[in-house]
């Protein structure tokens, strides 16, 4: 009972904080709706310094939330994209802010067209638990670059990281510029109901639908970065060891708790056994042991571990063959919250591993006969956030690109398209909508204001009434063809 009262009290406090910060940001934006380049630049530099100066505290917090999070994975996947994203934005921000000139039709001779990029106002960011720093800071960078104010709802699954990040942002920025909100699901629901000028959510497709419904009440535009089942297609013409090594890296990174992790492998039917052998060998070189290996990350919490073990049990009971990749033959029945990577053969459509986004170290292998069979398999399912193709034949690369849809594609690699600052990142269909990162992020969080300008000379008078004159007839003759 005492714990329930504490939760209710904490949620009430955070909801009060949420509304106070939102109204403070709305008022501040009304006072300064178009921050200068110098102000935006200073804001981004302060963010960068805050992250670098508090690197160890954030590393420790993320490790504590996961119970065992690879330090290097946190540096590679949390800090580096954030710092490099800030550096890239600082380099290009001045040019992004300039109005873009557009063409003027002959009928409107003497006037000018331009698009001005204007801050929207207050941007809401709902970030997930799997990369709690990067997926909060990434949208924040481009929201601030576009001149907005921002509020971030951190995941309740990473309480230590959320608290450290909240304190860090409070010590770096005023509440009316950047505010971090923590709390349980009820706080997140209240957050999504606020009339933000834009709302970006990263998480599951099911929750994304709820967020979009809540935002629709206020006609709040949304960017949804969802997950789904991202396929890895192995061609018949690539050395299997090349594909196996790169897929092993992408699947094992963060123990598969990545929205763009390879979710399943489409492998030529005559190379499945070869792939299994190569995968096990490459994985062993990456992770000679798992249980006490600081390079191999734990599952975030018991709830997620139970879910993943449930998927394995469901698959086995329905006839799948499970191949545990456990190089040191360690016992995982108790102790560390780690889960060996498991290959799944003979999976069928009624199994959860082929229905749900896996989000963990389980990897179904689906055999195919021809590349067109693989393409049909992908196209018969919801469009994925990422698609990975392994093969050096450029004609087949082109064929796959032209006949499939995905939010993003890596050819002969996994994950790293996310880290390309000059590429947009986003989903399509069930895997999301909208983009952020780099210039696309700046544009996503900006109002594209169309501006048509005339000075003293006014060519438009030629279409004024009274109509039916010779001049009107000449205009129709020239422009209606």
Q: Which residues are catalytic?
A: 225, 259
432-433 and 222-225 beta bridge pairing: antiparallel
Cα atoms in the 13 Å half-sphere on the side-chain side of 98: 6
Q: How far apart are the first and last CA of the chain?
A: 77
Q: Which residue has the tokens 């805050």?
A: 50
The CA distance from 390 to 155, in Å, is 34
- Which residues lie closer than 8 Å to 259 by C-beta, 6 or more apart? 128, 130, 202, 225, 226, 227, 359, 385
- Which residues lie closer than 8 Å to 102 by C-beta, 6 or more apart? 113, 114, 115
- Cβ burial of 136 (10 Å; 0-12, 13-18, 19+) is buried
Element (H, E) at 137: helix 134-145
Interior angle at CA 234, CA 231 and CA 236, nearest 5: 150
Both tokens assigned to 265: 């492998």
The CA distance from 14 to 108, in Å, is 54
Contact predicate 238/247, CB 8 Å = no
CA distances from 247 to 38, 260, 365, 469 (A): 43, 12, 12, 71
């Amino acid at each position: 009972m005492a714990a329930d009262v504490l939760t209710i009290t904490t949620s009430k406090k955070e909801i009060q904080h949420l509304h106070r910060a939102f109204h403070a940001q709305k008022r501040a934006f009304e006072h300064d709706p178009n921050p200068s380049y110098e102000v935006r630049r200073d804001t981004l530099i302060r963010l960068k310094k805050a992250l670098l100066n508090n690197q160890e505290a954030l590393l420790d917090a993320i490790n504590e939330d996961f119970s065992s999070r690879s330090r290097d994975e946190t540096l590679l996947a949390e800090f580096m994209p954030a710092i490099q994203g800030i550096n890239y934005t600082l380099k290009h921000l001045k040019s992004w802010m300039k109005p873009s000139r557009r063409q003027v039709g002959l009928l409107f001779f003497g006037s000018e067209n331009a698009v001005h990029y204007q801050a929207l106002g207050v941007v809401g960011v709902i970030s997930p638990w799997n990369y709690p720093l990067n997926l909060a800071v990434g949208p924040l960078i481009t929201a601030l670059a576009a001149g907005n104010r921002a509020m971030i709802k951190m995941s309740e699954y990473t309480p230590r990281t959320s608290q450290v990040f909240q304190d860090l942002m409070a010590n770096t920025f005023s509440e009316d510029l950047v505010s971090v909100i923590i709390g349980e699901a009820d706080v997140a629901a209240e957050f999504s109901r606020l009339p933000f000028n834009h709302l970006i959510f990263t998480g599951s497709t099911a929750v994304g639908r709820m967020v979009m419904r809540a935002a629709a009440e206020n006609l709040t535009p949304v960017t949804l970065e969802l997950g789904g089942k991202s396929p890895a297609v192995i061609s018949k013409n690539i050395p299997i060891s090349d594909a196996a090594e790169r897929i092993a890296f992408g699947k094992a990174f963060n123990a598969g708790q990545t929205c763009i992790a390879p979710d399943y492998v489409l492998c030529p039917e005559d190379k499945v056994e070869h792939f299994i052998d190569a995968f096990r060998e490459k994985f062993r070189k990456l992770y000679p042991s798992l249980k006490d290996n600081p390079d191999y990350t734990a599952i975030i919490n018991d709830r997620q571990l139970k879910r993943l073990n449930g998927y394995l049990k469901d698959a086995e009971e329905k006839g799948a063959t499970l191949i545990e990749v456990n190089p040191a033959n360690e016992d995982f029945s108790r102790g560390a919250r780690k889960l060996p990577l498991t290959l799944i053969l003979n999976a069928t459509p009624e199994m959860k591993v082929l229905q749900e986004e896996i989000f963990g170290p389980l990897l179904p292998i689906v055999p195919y006969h021809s590349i067109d069979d693989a393409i049909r398999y992908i196209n018969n399912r919801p469009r994925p956030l990422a698609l990975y193709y392994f093969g050096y034949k450029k004609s087949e690369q082109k064929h796959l690109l032209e006949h499939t849809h995905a939010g993003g594609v890596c050819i002969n690699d996994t994950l790293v398209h996310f880290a390309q600052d000059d590429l947009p990142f986003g989903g399509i269909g069930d895997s999301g909508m909208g983009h952020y990162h780099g210039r696309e992020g700046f544009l996503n969080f900006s109002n594209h204001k169309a501006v048509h300008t005339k000075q003293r000379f006014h060519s438009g008078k030629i279409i004024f009434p009274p109509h039916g004159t010779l001049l009107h007839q000449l205009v129709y003759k020239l422009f209606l063809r």
